[in-house]
Amino acid sequence: MIGTLAHGAILVSLAVVAFGMFFIPFAIKRGRRDWVALAYSAVYTNFLLITLATVAMVWALVTHDFSVSYVAQVGSKATPLFYTIISLWGALEGSILFWAWVLAMYAAAVVWINANRPGNLVPYAATALMGISLFFGILLIGPADPFKPVFPVPLDGPGPNPLLQNHILMAVHPPLLYLGYVGMSVPFAFAVGAMLSGEVLTDDWIKITRRWTLSSWGLLSAAIIAGMWWSYEVLGWGGYWAWDPVENASFMPWLTATAFLHSVMVQERRGMLRLWNLNLVVGTFVLTILGTFLTRSGIISSVHAFTTGTIGYYFLAFIAVTLLVALALVAGTSGRLKDENRFDAPASRETVFLLNNLFLTAFMFTVLLGTLFPLVAESVRGIKVSVGEPFFNRMSLPMIVALLFLMGVGPAMPWKRTSMAELKGKLLPPLIGATVMLVIAVAFGARNFYALVTFAFVGFSGASNKFEIWYGIRARHRAHGENYLTALFRLMAGNRRRYGGYVAHLGILTVALGIAASSTFRTETEATLKPGDSMTVSGHTVRLKQVWGREEVQRSVIGATLEIVKNGTVTGTIEPKMNFYPTSQQPVPTPQVKSSIAGDLYANLQAFRPDGSSATIRLIYEPMVPWIWFGGMIVVLGSVLSILPTRSRA
């Protein structure tokens, strides 16, 4: 019943969206702004209808309405309410519905915020957004229909994928990811709008686009970090990034969006790189769709890949159409874009931005190539190959260290030209920072070449960005006599974008530091313990107290209680578990992590004797892992700072 209603809502929304999409260009041709306003109501109506369908799905999930196909697929009466609600994005059809809803929300927000803006940029952008909505609407009535009627109605369902109902971060990571990922549709829509309306010749559209890109970028950054955190807390191997295709899929648009956020400054300052920036915006969007295709079509296996079907062909067709339209528009525009094409001197921030863009896009290319290569190799040679972590680490490390270095050089380099004297003065603190970090790393026993370079460059760029903020504070202190704290706040408020950028840099550097330290100094050990036995990893001793079992509503749990022993006294316990779900033959590892600012003690239950006489424990000490999550929060803070409008300068 509710399924039919929701299905109907989606059908109507398709008609509404198709109408709006074709009516807006028509209204513009006729010069009728009132018709455009009418078409905007199609955007709002679509949002309402998709909201209705989404609410209906949540309702069906919560009430265990197994006559709805999606509920029959992922629901179960035993699943706790919380995990029932978030199973909305736990499988293919629900996630497409959620995607359509986020997209409809963005479209409504874009139109709402910019409704009174003169010119044809926003109407055409709305057209593009409705085009994308149309595609997702077609998926929802075709290959990803979540509201298919089921008959006979089953009494109960299997419940969500065990991996997805094992941790609370599943409520955080996917929504953030969709908000960031789908948000990249908005800059794309504005790029299309700019090209169709001719506003691409002015740089005003880029200001709107930049802000939307920044917010999506911040959300995507948070989503990627939350995904790392989830994988660390759930998968039981003590790592947070495995270059899994779906991780790559979320990372590639992040790289091109990061490139855009930097090169767009060259366009604003110097009126250059216009064509390049258009390509970055289009490329970022296409990468989000391509990434979804790769992980959702089942052609590449992944932790997150859902069931296969015909949906891959729809995505391929959509990618082809998008590329054709975008390339035709870009080709038509390129002749009209007249760039200034003049640099004052090679040693300038402009040049650093060019290098930054080179390494970010080459990085994206490497990840794309590595992700697709197994497919290519199989079709060319007929032999399956794997392209995994060792490949990606080897190929990306040189680019990562180059980017870490540039992150320190860029802020220290002024626009236009740099005098040697100025540069010398500015380079001193970063060089000291690099030396200090290098000495500390060597003292702790780091010998790996890339690890040492990473630590040095983190020190270099960390000092550089901090000192840029400090120079600003000092200048205010001297000029206005403000105390340092007031100067800091006024500085940030006065030029949010610049200092928000430096804060984001510091966040990324903190993440890099956490990754470098945890992968360099990680120590692990595995042992089979009887109750009373102990094991030690880099000075941390745990003693097995007991192995126990417990029945919960939706699963059975086996746990091992380990006491953390310091100098003969018990200071705490750590309790890794294995969760057995009825639908899954493999138990879901549930490691436990004891975090401190210095590092994590990570325990995973690898195996156990059913009689409780022994347990095999993998115990890992990973220094500075919490710095990665903390760094992610700093990145988000930096992007929030940059998005907020700048108040008039004091």
Partner 1 sequence: MRRARQGLVALSLALSLALILPRATAAQQAPAAARDTQMVTPEGLRSNASAKATDPALEARTSGVASGLRCPVCQGLSIQDSPSELSQQMRSLVRDQLAAGKTDEEVRAYFISKYGEWILLEPKASGFNTLVYALPILVVVGGLGLILTLVRRWTAVPADGDKT
Residues 335-394 that bind partner 1 (CB under 8 A): 338-347, 351, 354-355, 358-359, 361-362, 365-366, 369-370, 373, 377, 380-381, 383-391, 394
Which amino acid does the sequence have at 21?
M
Q: Whole-angstrom Cα distance, residue 382 to residue 377?
A: 7
Stretch that binds partner 1, among 7-15, 501-509, 518-526, 640-648 (CB under 8 A): 518-526
642: its two tokens: 């940059």
Query: Based on CB atoms, which residue is closest to partner 1, 109 or 337?
Result: 337
Interaction of residue 334 with partner 1, rule CB under 8 A: no
Stretch that binds partner 1, among 171-179, 285-293, 296-304, 496-504 (CB under 8 A): 296-304
Q: Whole-angstrom Cα distance, residue 59 to residue 79?
A: 15
3-state secondary structure of 561: strand
- Report, in Å, the least distance between residue 394 CB and partner 1: 5
20: its two tokens: 């709006």
Residue pair 599/625 in contact by the 8 Å Cβ criterion: yes
Query: Based on CB atoms, which residue is closest to partner 1, 127 or 579?
Result: 579
Q: Whole-angstrom Cα distance, residue 638 to residue 496?
A: 9
Residue 447 main-chain phi, psi, to 5 deg: -130, -20
From the CA atom positions of the chain, what is the Rg in Å? 27
Query: Based on CB atoms, which residue is closest to partner 1, 242 or 493?
Result: 242
Strand partners, 541: 536, 565
- Report, in Å, the least distance between residue 372 CB and partner 1: 9
Stretch that binds partner 1, among 51-59, 118-126, 143-151, 603-611 (CB under 8 A): 603-611
**Pairing status of strand 540-551 against strand 556-566:** antiparallel
Interaction of residue 55 with partner 1, rule CB under 8 A: no
Which amino acid does the sequence have at 127?
T
Stretch that binds partner 1, among 13-21, 23-31, 125-133, 300-308 (CB under 8 A): 300-308
255: its two tokens: 């790289």
Is the CA virtual torsion 495, 188, 53, 68 positive or negative?
negative
Query: Based on CB atoms, which residue is closest to partner 1, 41 or 308?
Result: 308
Query: Based on CB atoms, which residue is closest to partner 1, 307 or 534?
Result: 534
- The contact pattern for partner 1, residues 207-236, with x = CB under 8 A and - = no contact, is ----------------------------xx
What part of residues 401-460 is at the interface with partner 1 (CB under 8 A)?
401-402, 447-451
Alpha helices in 31-87 (DSSP H): 33-62, 69-74, 81-86
Strand partners, 574: 562
Query: Based on CB atoms, which residue is closest to partner 1, 209 or 590?
Result: 590
- Report, in Å, the least distance between residue 70 CB and partner 1: 24
What part of residues 147-206 is at the interface with partner 1 (CB under 8 A)?
none
Per CB under 8 A, the list member of 227, 459, 589, 623 interacting with partner 1 is 589
Nearest to 527 by CA among 588, 604, 622, 592: 604
Calculate the dihedral angle through the C-alpha atoms of 377, 381, 382, 385, rounding to the nearest 10 degrees: -40
Nearby residues of 329 by Cβ (< 8 Å), 6 or more positions away: 192, 195, 196
**Pairing status of strand 588-590 against strand 577-580:** antiparallel
- Report, in Å, the least distance between residue 314 CB and partner 1: 24
Interaction of residue 29 with partner 1, rule CB under 8 A: no
- Report, in Å, the least distance between residue 578 CB and partner 1: 10
Residue 611 main-chain phi, psi, to 5 deg: -85, 5
Interaction of residue 575 with partner 1, rule CB under 8 A: no
Query: Based on CB atoms, which residue is closest to partner 1, 51 or 528?
Result: 528
Query: Based on CB atoms, which residue is closest to partner 1, 145 or 524?
Result: 524
Q: Whole-angstrom Cα distance, residue 511 to residue 110?
A: 32
Query: Based on CB atoms, which residue is closest to partner 1, 45 or 520?
Result: 520
646: its two tokens: 């700048």
Stretch that binds partner 1, among 310-318, 496-504, 548-556, 600-608 (CB under 8 A): 600-608
Per CB under 8 A, the list member of 205, 229, 230, 243 interacting with partner 1 is 243
- The contact pattern for partner 1, residues 91-130, with x = CB under 8 A and - = no contact, is ----------------------------------------
- Report, in Å, the least distance between residue 148 CB and partner 1: 28
Query: Based on CB atoms, which residue is closest to partner 1, 329 or 364?
Result: 364
Residues in binding contact with partner 1, number by CB under 8 A: 83
**Pairing status of strand 592-595 against strand 569-574:** unpaired
Per CB under 8 A, the list member of 237, 415, 548, 580 interacting with partner 1 is 237
Per CB under 8 A, the list member of 203, 526, 563, 575 interacting with partner 1 is 526
Stretch that binds partner 1, among 20-28, 44-52, 90-98, 521-529 (CB under 8 A): 521-529
Half-sphere exposure of 612 (CA within 13 A, CB side): 11
Stretch that binds partner 1, among 327-335, 468-476, 515-523, 630-638 (CB under 8 A): 515-523
Stretch that binds partner 1, among 254-262, 485-493, 522-530, 628-636 (CB under 8 A): 522-530
Helices 173-183, 92-114: axis angle to 10 degrees equals 50
37: its two tokens: 């306003």
Query: Based on CB atoms, which residue is closest to partner 1, 310 or 534?
Result: 534
Q: How far is CA 576 from CA 233, 547, 593, 607, in A?
A: 11, 10, 8, 11
Query: Based on CB atoms, which residue is closest to partner 1, 38 or 372?
Result: 372
Q: Whole-angstrom Cα distance, residue 353 to residue 589?
A: 44
Per CB under 8 A, the list member of 91, 220, 330, 399 interacting with partner 1 is 399
What part of residues 533-552 is at the interface with partner 1 (CB under 8 A)?
533-538
Residue pair 111/43 in contact by the 8 Å Cβ criterion: yes
- Report, in Å, the least distance between residue 245 CB and partner 1: 8
Burial 82-111 (b: 16+ CB within 10 A, else e): ebbebbbbbbbbbbbbbbbbbbbbbbbebb
Q: Compute CA 471 distance to the chain's CA centroid, rounded to the nearest angstrom.
A: 32
- Report, in Å, the least distance between residue 369 CB and partner 1: 6
